Amino acid sequence: MAQVCRLGLLLVLLLPAVGASMPGTVIRLNKAMLSYVSRAGKDPLQQALQVPVPYFLEQRGEGLQPTRIQILDVHVPRLYLNFIDGLGVRLRAAANFTVKVFRAPEPLELVLPVVLLADAPVTQGSIGTPVVSISACLLLFNKAIVFDDTHSTPPELLVLVQQHIRAVLRNKACLSISNLVQGLNVHLGTLIGLKPLGPESQIRYFMINAPNITKDYISLDVNAVLFLLSKPIPMPVNATRFTLPEHVGTSGAMVTLGLSQDVFDSALLLLQKAGTLNLDVTGQLKSKDNLLNTSMLGQHIPEVALQFPEPMPVVLKARLRSTPEVMIHTNNATLQLQPYIEVLAVASNSAFQSLFSINVTVNLSLQLSVSRVKLQGTTSVLGDIQLTVASSNVGSIEMPKLRALINIVFKKPLLNHLNALLRVGVTLPNVVNLNYVTPEVFIHEGYVVVSSELSYQS
């Protein structure tokens, strides 16, 4: 099965599913991808062409006698794949069949050169999976080369043997190529699965229409379903169709992947609904550099000092009540979070007592990268964290005096939490054993482009 997959690398970036609207992702597989497939596909093609040859009936004496014939080796020195505008892929291969004829008194060996031509349409299956088929297949034979024919095989016998082998190859070689492609489709069908996006969330990609195929590339419109606790969550309806401009990314890359604004909005909505962006920051009294205690707050809020004459731990419970916003502009991506923070203190009876709550706005710079098959990110805070008092149980609060303290105790835990989540990453469309190699990320107005080489390891 692993060998079957190598010939299908032009499609392995797809994960099938059902349902569709507007594409959030466009995958463009270029000519460089076909060159890689051509190199990787020689071995599985050679093995597929190792077809059995039935016995040849040779006239000997008064009757026909069966003669065993075996294909000893198939060597494919050249394999070319090209896009066919509006159809799929055309295969052209040169193959040399080394054949042994077990006849007395000495066996006969010959090499039969063959040119194979096949057209492989690429379509969308009824359940949203990619489907490859063989619409045309042709074998062109050259004259056989006989090795060490010391017993001077009769020319008429050599002609009959070649005719027999050619008839067998015409019947079986194209069928073997078709079976190779069907094995690929079976493999692609197993890609209907969930990829982790967080502890309780997953993502599944799917084709939403037939691929767009030109003489230079195959372009695939792809969307995704996001799941929380194994249930799909409703996503905002795409207002506009995302299209990937012609000349973006790295020239000559195997794959150019365009990710629209909707992809980022949807992923952040899922993380927000899953609660993974929520954060608790807890102070420990025994820590020498702990600033989260009632004593520190009491220096800025007199009522806290009155209620808590002895230092007690303070907890910041940050909850996102709205979906984070990502802004994608040319060469610049930013993320805005607006958490609601409730500040609680541990009372003498170990119960939590709400002191006050604040509305927070945090603007972050977002840097994107790709590792293996995942889009990852890191953030850093842009400017100061904006704070406003939402409610208070400790009287009037002068936020300017408190801002520096909240910035210090909240900024670092927030960044650590966010960057840990972003390092987990979002799995890009992929297949098992396929990795993005030397990827580059480009940020354009409203979308992100990943240009990359690909590597398949069986």
CB atoms inside a 10 Å sphere around CB 280:
12
**308-311 contact pairs (CB < 8 A, 24+):** 308/345, 310/348, 311/285
Domain ranges for the chain, please list them: 31-189, 244-456
Query: Which of 245, 41, 260 has the alpha carbon at shortest distance from 132?
Result: 41
Please write the tens of the pLDDT for every residue from 243-256. 999 889 898 999 99
Provide φ and ψ at 442, rounded to 5°: -125, 135
Asked if residue 191 lies in contact with residue 14, where contact means CB atoms within 8 angstroms, the answer is yes
Indicate the Cα dihedral angle 425, 430, 435, 438, nearest 10°. Answer: -70
Q: Give the mean model confidence (pLDDT) for residues 87-95.
A: 96
State the pLDDT confidence band at 60, using cuts at 50, 70 and 90.
low
Output the pLDDT for position 74: 95
| pLDDT for 16 beyond 60 | no
Band of the pLDDT at 87, cuts 50, 70, 90? very high
| pLDDT tens by residue, 156-173 | 778 888 899 999 999 899
CA 118/CA 337 separation, integer angstroms: 54
Instruction: Dump strand ranges (E) for 142-275.
Output: 145-147, 195-198, 201-207, 212-213, 217-228, 231-232, 255-260
pTM of this prediction? 0.85
Residue 20 — pLDDT band, cuts 50, 70, 90?
very low
With cut-offs at 50, 70 and 90, classify the pLDDT of residue 127: confident
Overall average pLDDT of the 132-143 stretch: 93
User: Are 27 and 122 contacting, i.e. CB atoms less than 8 angstroms apart?
Assistant: no
- Burial of 445 from C-beta contacts in 10 A (0-12 / 13-18 / 19+): exposed
Residue 213 pLDDT more than 80?
A: yes
Residue 406: predicted pLDDT: 85
pLDDT at position 207 is 84
**CATH number for the segment(s) 244-456:** 3.15.20.10
Q: Return the biggest CA–CA distance within the chain.
A: 121
Is there a contact between 160 and 221 (Cβ–Cβ < 8 Å)?
Answer: no
Identify the CATH assignment for 31-189 out of 3.90.660.10, 2.60.40.10, 3.30.2130.30, 3.15.10.10: 3.15.10.10
Q: Tell me if 31-189 shares its fold with 244-456.
A: no
pLDDT in tens, 220-272: 888 888 888 888 887 666 657 889 998 898 989 999 999 998 889 888 888 88
pLDDT of residue 153: 66
Find the radius of gyration of the CA atoms of the chain.
33
- The string of pLDDT tens digits covering residues 32-45 is 999 999 998 899 99
Q: What is the pLDDT of residues 390-444, one digit of tens each?
A: 999 999 888 887 888 888 889 999 999 999 999 988 888 887 788 899 999 999 9
> Do strands 325-329 and 332-337 pair parallel, antiparallel, or not at all (unpaired)?
antiparallel
Confidence check: pLDDT of 9 > 80:
no
> Locate tokens 């904006």: which residue?
386
The tokens of 181 are what? 């492609």
Length in residues, the chain: 458
Are 431 and 419 within 8 A, CB to CB? Answer: no
In 85-107, at which residue ranges do the beta strands (DSSP E only) sit? 88-102
